[in-house]
Amino acid sequence: MKRRLIASVAMGAALALAAVGLPAAAQTKTLKIVAHADVKILDPTFTTAYISRNFGYMVYDTLFAQDARSKPQPQMVEKYTTSKDGKEWRFTLRPGLKFSDGSPVTSTDVIASLQRWAGRDSLGRAMTSAGAEWKSVDAANFTLTLKEPFGMVLDALAKPSGFPPFILPERLAKMPATSPLPEVLGSGPFIFKRDEWVPGNKAVFVRNPEYVARSEPPNGLSGSKKSHFDRVEWLYLPDANSSIAALKRGEVDLIEQLPPDYIAPLSTDPTIKVGSGGAYQGFLVMNQMFPPFNNPKARQALAHAVNQEKFTAAMGYPLNMRVTYCATYFICGGPNETSAGAEPFRTVDVAKGKALLAEAGYKGEKVVLLVPTDVPYLNAEALMAAQAMRSLGMNVDMQNMDWASIGARRAKKEAPDAGGWNVYVTVAGEFDVNSPITNAYLGAACGTSLPGWPCDKPLDELRTAWIKETDAAKRKELLDAFQKRAYEAIPYVNAGQYSAAYAARSNLKGLDKLWAGMPVVWALDR
């Protein structure tokens, strides 16, 4: 009886409290997103994993950012100038910029961040090859001097993916990029709540009170990043049925990557909005440090065994969201689409593949394939990869693990039988594929830190020539020559092109501002 009385009093107090208004903490406006993967690596300059890149956009900002038309726009920079020959640049930071601990963002922070980034990124390395030298003038001003013209300076500083040039505090930026940063101290719109982080469950962000937003409205990745939400939760729900049920009940607001099987049924639900997440390309990435894929003939063999249409169909995407066959490495329908060099691989030729594999010296050794268990379309891509490899007579060792674990495993340079790997599958959005410089896996500079460690000097030389060339006709010739060489070196196998999808509650505003599959959460409101 006492317990019932206590419960009644407590309930009455709660109702009375609701009547006069909830405490501020209870009124926190929260956005809940089902993230496409579990975030484990909190350093977006250490890995190209999209979940870590997305984490970077939550907590860091960039000097420039691409708008919805892929044009670089000033972000942390207030103004800039360049000389007529393009060799001298001067930049001024916006006033009042701070890190999330309240310390000012200075030019020394910027320079250290760009130097760390340049050691990892393809555009950063290209700038370094052009003689890039950064110097601090004062706390707000810094310069870039080049020994030779580099026409992609702003494109580099606004690079949206792969390794975006996020700005960190100098003391963190000076730490080597060979291991993840131990601390998160950002320059961006949110603060990461490490104390609420539950790996394998959720990551929590709160609005950064120190963040100084631009006055322009959100436009792609540029403009204001002032959030309409006090709190953003990334939930990791690997079971698709659970995430869909949560969305229908209104327990979550957005599923970042909608499993393909649910695209059609959710499109008819009036409480749900299904939208395009941009063009993607499937990748079969091969470890080129160890046999058999250290031999280009073995990589060509696998390319001969891949049927793009079957791959994207197996991944579950409906016919109207996939391309039957895409000959280019640079996104069909994109500005750099070309079919140069693709003709020998246009149709599946397993017999040719077997012959090439034999020429590569393969004799039935185990080939370790990393299979993601928690991302359905990647799991399907891996199963198709296993089928293609077995059709060539490969002895496939399928090792199952979650996607976050694959992200860590693929960085290992140990031999496949000592904790390393031979093949893993992934996908890349159009912003990471559509040119020789943004397509990181075609960046075959020897010594690259990219998992797979491609190394092809002729390909890298052609890419450098393409970057430097300013004549449009010659640039097209170099693009074709670059792709022809790519089909000889095969840095990775193109597993086909498709369009991804997201699903959101229909009361979520700003969905039209979601950009090419990136969760631009600061543009959203309810």
**What amino acid is encoded at 343 in this protein?**
E
pLDDT number for residue 468: 76
pLDDT number for residue 446: 82
Q: Which residues of 414-453 are buried (b: 16+ CB within 10 A; e: fewer)?
A: eebeeebbbbbbbbbbbbbbbbbbbbbbbbbbeebbbbbb
- Whole-angstrom Cα distance, residue 311 to residue 306? 8
The 10s digit of each residue's pLDDT in 122-143 is 789 889 989 999 999 999 999 9
DSSP string, 343-396: GGGSS--HHHHHHHHHHTT--S-EEEEEEESS-HHHHHHHHHHHHHHHHTT-EE
pLDDT number for residue 161: 87
Report how far apart, in Å, the C-alpha atoms of 61 and of each of 118, 214, 523 are: 16, 11, 15
pLDDT of 485 strictly over 90: yes
Tokens of 140: 């707000």
- Per-residue pLDDT band at 516 (split at 50, 70, 90): low
**% of the chain exceeding 70 in pLDDT:** 94
Average the pLDDT over 17-26 and give the result: 42
- Per-residue pLDDT band at 168 (split at 50, 70, 90): very high
- Per-residue pLDDT band at 49 (split at 50, 70, 90): confident
Find, among 147, 166, 135, the residue nearest to 45 by Cα. 166
Average the pLDDT over 335-357 and give the result: 96
- Per-residue pLDDT band at 8 (split at 50, 70, 90): very low
Torsion (CA) 198, 202, 208, 213 in degrees, nearest 10:
150
Report all structural domains of the chain as residue ranges with CATH numbers, in order of start: 279-500 (3.10.105.10)
pLDDT of 320 strictly over 90: no
Tokens of 60: 């860091």
- Whole-angstrom Cα distance, residue 484 to residue 295? 18
pLDDT of 9 strictly over 80: no
pLDDT number for residue 151: 78
More confident site: 312 or 15: 312
pLDDT of 322 strictly over 70: yes
The 10s digit of each residue's pLDDT in 241-252 is 999 999 999 999
Rounded to 5 degrees, φ, ψ at 89 are -130, 145
- Whole-angstrom Cα distance, residue 8 to residue 3? 9
> Cis before residue 416, ω within 30 degrees of 0?
no
pLDDT of 10 strictly over 90: no
Neighbours of 233 (CB within 10 A): 19
Sequence-separated (6 or more) residues with CB below 8 Å from residue 207: 189, 190, 191, 227, 229, 230, 231
pLDDT number for residue 354: 98
Tokens of 235: 């939930």
**% of the chain exceeding 90 in pLDDT:** 71
Q: What is the largest CA-CA distance in the chain?
A: 88
Average pLDDT over all residues of the chain: 90
pLDDT of 413 strictly over 70: yes
Sequence-separated (6 or more) residues with CB below 8 Å from residue 485: 341, 456, 458, 459, 462
Find, among 168, 147, 172, 158, the residue nearest to 80 by Cα. 158
pLDDT number for residue 277: 77
pLDDT number for residue 26: 52
- Per-residue pLDDT band at 13 (split at 50, 70, 90): very low
- Per-residue pLDDT band at 100 (split at 50, 70, 90): very high
Find, among 478, 480, 484, the residue nearest to 465 by Cα. 478
- Per-residue pLDDT band at 121 (split at 50, 70, 90): confident
Average the pLDDT over 272-289 and give the result: 92
